[in-house]
Amino acid sequence: MSSQRESFRGLSAAEFFYRNREIAGFTNPTRALYQTVRELVENSLDATETHGILPDIKVVIQLDEKDPNKVYVEVSDNGIGVPVEEIPSVFARVFYGSKYVLRQTRGIFGLGIKMTVLYSQITTGRPLYVQSSTPESPVIAEYELLINIKMNLPIILSEKLIRKRKKFHGTHVKLCIEGNWSQARRKVEEYIKRTAMITPYANITFITPEGTTIYKRSTKIMPPPPQIGKPHPYGVDTELLKHLFVGNGNQRLKDFIMENFEGVGEATAEDFLKWSKIPNKKLSSFTIEEIAKIARKLKEYPNWRRPRPTTLSPVGEKLLKKGIKSILEAEYVAAVTRKPLSYRGNPFIVEVAIAWGGKIPASDKPILYRYANKIPLLYDEGADVSRKIVDSIDWSLYKVKFPAPLVVVVHVCSTKIPFKGIGKEAIADVPELEREIENAIKEAARRLRIHLRAVERAHEILRRKITFEKYIPEVARALSIITTVDEKTLAEKMYKMMEREIEKVAAPVSVPAPTTVSVKAKQEVKR
Amino acid sequence: MSSQRESFRGLSAAEFFYRNREIAGFTNPTRALYQTVRELVENSLDATETHGILPDIKVVIQLDEKDPNKVYVEVSDNGIGVPVEEIPSVFARVFYGSKYVLRQTRGIFGLGIKMTVLYSQITTGRPLYVQSSTPESPVIAEYELLINIKMNLPIILSEKLIRKRKKFHGTHVKLCIEGNWSQARRKVEEYIKRTAMITPYANITFITPEGTTIYKRSTKIMPPPPQIGKPHPYGVDTELLKHLFVGNGNQRLKDFIMENFEGVGEATAEDFLKWSKIPNKKLSSFTIEEIAKIARKLKEYPNWRRPRPTTLSPVGEKLLKKGIKSILEAEYVAAVTRKPLSYRGNPFIVEVAIAWGGKIPASDKPILYRYANKIPLLYDEGADVSRKIVDSIDWSLYKVKFPAPLVVVVHVCSTKIPFKGIGKEAIADVPELEREIENAIKEAARRLRIHLRAVERAHEILRRKITFEKYIPEVARALSIITTVDEKTLAEKMYKMMEREIEKVAAPVSVPAPTTVSVKAKQEVKR
């Protein structure tokens, strides 16, 4: 037996992620740079559109003059800002934040920005610079922060309050990390482009050593922001119940259920008690075994209402199309926003768009653009449920023959996206979600088929027309000899007749303009 | 702008994982049951073989009589046990443990067992039962534990010390979780089988509602246990340096480097100082900027020795073959243990085995068995670096034509496996590792090719022999008429001549027995 004695110790959450940063996407200088941009941009978008503010975001990448492996990443926004007293913890304490509520946001873990600080601290030793102000605050706060890794607490290197001279709110963040810009560049650019595509109401200015790209908003319409919701009975567990029971010992079960869960009215609460045979006692009188039973019964009761989608903020068919058209310059786009559904008490909505032709390059299988709560997902496509579904579909049923210029956009919104990892790159194959994504893709694909059929028809007609036109002079000449009518008059009449006939055949569809098929436009804009 | 004010708060590590349990593999009752078995078995194997103890492990799955969705999982081992005073934290405090050292073990996060406790707590409300004793301890400790999720601290429901009557050490753990045994069964069985395959020196008794399977150890030889190592200069970062500097302010840099890093002698330390132009000052006199520079230079210096592999514990070619043969009952197995290499200062060793024929079913592409630090990986194969490599290899170069009965076993050992997630299911494509896995597979594949050639040859010879034999009597009769020599004598002589000729041709390889090709056996056992 080995003589080494084991030594035991605890890690703070910060030390855990310091040691295992790969797990949060900070794998190497290329990936870490990508991840840093992502975390900052996502925070900025959450700080704006989640609160009904049209996003104005500036992203700056700068290389250190002496050492090009040192990269400055800077992001500023016009969001709601962070209250002064919360700034140190929000930016420099792992698992601290405002996102631990039921509402669709990009951030959920309270980890991203702290990982970027840890990473800059590890690689360049430099602090995070942050400047922020809320709309109500009379001052702008400026901080330089590091993380005390052993304790998981912020280290405040400098702190300054500046009186506001004009109305301003927002956050400005700057970091210096070790990064490989030349390798990360393509992915970062793609990330920004795909972000612009799903948020056509955002102004994004993207400044890199190579130049400036501006994605100007193509609309001022934003999806309604998500509301904070209550848990749904299907998502309840023993621990949550125990937690909610605390301080409410005198309340009775019926009132408790009505008050604390999503969409439970009095009739439903009473029916649940009858169905589950649980007495309407005071909360304090339930034993642990009984609480476990309540949790189980809450999950099993068949008559709860579906979770409401007010906590969600899908893009909507109209905006989705707008974004995709302006970025991909496709010939045709079909967009589908499905009805809300739920898995294990978590509401979700699937949106799918299919873009075809135009400037989309032909490829051997559909190009997939994945989004989760409006976050573009660029890595680990092979592990994602959507790739699996897209590959399993028989596209020939939809008149698609590969190589084809086909992009499939899948957007999943949920208060709880079933990510496969903390890096938030792939969505797991939860059955309810898988089924819904498949249905959504097929719905969009059927619209594409109608379009492709129309194109086929238009081409067919064009071919016929060319054939006719070729023979008209000859036929006219022959007829002219027989009828002694003027050859030119005959030919003109025949041309007109042909146009009329072709118009009849082509009536249901117009020849596709480089935008949409008219017959479908109405349906697609119904939202 | 939305009127909702943001509310901020912090989560304990326990609450974080309670909320995001999917990330650690606790996705649903099927997967959670699999993951629970895995965590317990891996702890037991770490507690035995890492300390030079031949593992005796018993795994029991039992369904609750009243409710078959409640599953009891019980694992006991003859390991080194956990000291009484550490038991509550080791089993019921997230990020606490003995595995935060540089050494190859299955566990690394200090999270697995706590996740199983959290999960039982959430789904059935039942505590963890644990009984443990170290070799030195005069008592066996018995606990029932839950986790205080808000505080990330153990809740001790009961505590009992029993005087030992005989020599005993080990740990016995029992949990009751919500699980779907009928769906998880196949994966759990496969997991146990693959574990037995890579640990042929372990006795594993596996008791399920369907019966008992015993994997008896086929050898008492174990790989040497891993030693605890020091960090390698290539793996150093600013934070680690700052941490190591604390309390050593009076030490000079040269001595510090020699003492704290792996394989740095005096000559190397001096050369490093000269090369990096960093003065050999007292540690206390370095500024943060200088410390960041030291960290960078330590990473860039080209002449460090490779990390030593004493922290690793590969299975070895001999044991690998033994395990695979006894479990897969293959016709042929080639095993390769490569030399140690490193990525970013982390030593790693790749082992590959290729098994062919026998009871392996033919399939359209190679069946892949993945292992990381002897942990069988059963999920997320599509995201794993090994699958990518296996699929990219042109197997026809190795005389393999699909469908073929081919299993490729890849085992990666490292003090830091680059897992893609906390669930430890897929290995990321770190370039150094990717290259090495490819080389290892090709090395094993070349041995397979030799074997397949030998088989081909043997069959060729057999075919020729059959042809000869068919004609010998006729030829003998004809010759007998001409030479008047007895026909039977002639035939016998010809048979002998044929045997001799065939032996000559077949000399380099014997007809393959259902085990190995003799010509290669020596090379394969060189370890």
The tens digit of pLDDT for each residue in A86-103 reads: 999 999 999 999 988 889
Q: How far is A422 from chain B (nearest CA, A)?
A: 7
Task: Identify whether the C-beta of residue B220 lies closer than 8 Å to the C-beta of residue B199.
Answer: no
Task: Identify whether the C-beta of residue A55 lies closer than 8 Å to the C-beta of residue A49.
Answer: yes
Cβ contacts (< 8 Å) between A239 and chain B: which residues? Answer: 18, 121-122, 149
For residue A257, the Cα-to-chain-centroid distance in whole angstroms is 32
Backbone angles phi, psi at B203, to 5 degrees: -95, 120
Using omega within 30 degrees of 0 as the cis cutoff, is the peptide bond preceding A29 cis? no
Instruction: Provide the pLDDT for residue B490.
Output: 79
Question: A65 by DSSP, 3-state: which?
Answer: coil
Q: Domain B13-215 is in which class?
A: alpha beta
Name the residue among A1, A52, A150 with its Cβ closest to that of B51: A1
Instruction: Provide the pLDDT for residue B395.
Output: 97
> Which residues, numbered 219 to 258 in chain A, qualify as contacts with chain B under a Cβ-Cβ cut-off of 8 Å?
225, 227-228, 237-239, 243
Q: What is the mean pLDDT of residues A122-135?
A: 94
Do B233-300 and B13-215 fall under one CATH topology? no
Rg of chain B in Å (alpha carbons): 29
The answer to whether B54 faces chain A, any CB pair under 8 Å, is no
Size of interface A-B (CB pairs under 8 A): 169
Instruction: Provide the pLDDT for residue B525.
Output: 34
More confident residue, B421 or A271: A271
Residue A518 confidence (pLDDT) above 50: no
Give A505's pLDDT tier (boundaries 50, 70, 90).
low
CA–CA dist B309, B350 (Å, integer): 12
A380–B225 C-beta distance less than 8 A: no
Half-sphere exposure of A280 (CA within 13 A, CB side): 14
DSSP string, B409-461: EEEEEESS--BSSTT---B---HHHHHHHHHHHHHHHHHHHHHHHHHHHHHHH
Q: What is the mean pLDDT of residues A434-448?
A: 97
Give A523's pLDDT tier (boundaries 50, 70, 90).
very low
pLDDT in tens, B314-362: 999 999 999 999 899 999 999 999 999 988 888 999 999 999 999 999 9
Cβ contacts (< 8 Å) between A343 and chain B: which residues? Answer: none
CA–CA dist A183, A189 (Å, integer): 11
Instruction: Provide the pLDDT for residue B4.
Output: 53
More confident residue, A504 or B410: B410
A97–B418 C-beta distance less than 8 A: no
Which of B420, B427, B429 best tests the A interface by mutation, with the highest count of A CBs <10 A? B420
A18–B239 C-beta distance less than 8 A: yes
Cβ contacts (< 8 Å) between B24 and chain A: which residues? Answer: none
Residue A151 confidence (pLDDT) above 80: yes
More confident residue, B520 or A508: A508
Task: Identify whether the C-beta of residue A173 lies closer than 8 Å to the C-beta of residue A130.
Answer: yes
Nearest CA in chain B to A178: B296
pLDDT in tens, B484-501: 778 888 788 878 877 777
CA–CA dist B117, B443 (Å, integer): 43
**Does the CA dihedral B470-B474-B477-B480 come out positive or negative?**
negative
Nearest CA in chain B to A387: B382
- Indicate the domain borders of chain A: 13-215, 233-300, 308-527
Give B3's pLDDT tier (boundaries 50, 70, 90).
very low
Give B168's pLDDT tier (boundaries 50, 70, 90).
very high
**Over chain A, what is the mean pLDDT?**
90
Which of B1, B3, B7, B8 best tests the A interface by mutation, with the highest count of A CBs <10 A? B8
Give B516's pLDDT tier (boundaries 50, 70, 90).
very low
Instruction: Provide the pLDDT for residue A486.
Output: 84
CA–CA dist A297, A281 (Å, integer): 16
**Over chain B, what is the mean pLDDT?**
90
Residue B377 confidence (pLDDT) above 90: yes
Q: How far is A344 from chain B (nearest CA, A)?
A: 10
Which of A23, A28, A123, A343 best tests the B interface by mutation, with the highest count of B CBs <10 A? A23
Q: How far is A324 from chain B (nearest CA, A)?
A: 26
Q: Which residues contact B443 (CB under 8 A, 6 or more apart)?
A: B336, B338, B352
A115-119, B372-376, B403-407, B463-467, range with the lowest pLDDT? B463-467
Residue B522 confidence (pLDDT) above 70: no
Fold (CATH) for A233-300: Helicase, Ruva Protein; domain 3 (1.10.8)
Q: How far is B423 from chain A (nearest CA, A)?
A: 8
Instruction: Provide the pLDDT for residue A4.
Output: 54
- In chain B, % helix, strand, coil (3-state, to 5) comes to 45, 20, 35
Q: Domain B309-443 is in which class?
A: alpha beta
Instruction: Provide the pLDDT for residue B342.
Output: 87
Instruction: Provide the pLDDT for residue B504.
Output: 67
pLDDT in tens, B13-40: 999 999 999 889 898 899 999 999 999 9
The architecture (CATH level 2) of A308-527 comes to: 2-Layer Sandwich (3.30)
Cβ contacts (< 8 Å) between B421 and chain A: which residues? Answer: 23, 420-423
Cβ contacts (< 8 Å) between A292 and chain B: which residues? Answer: 124-125
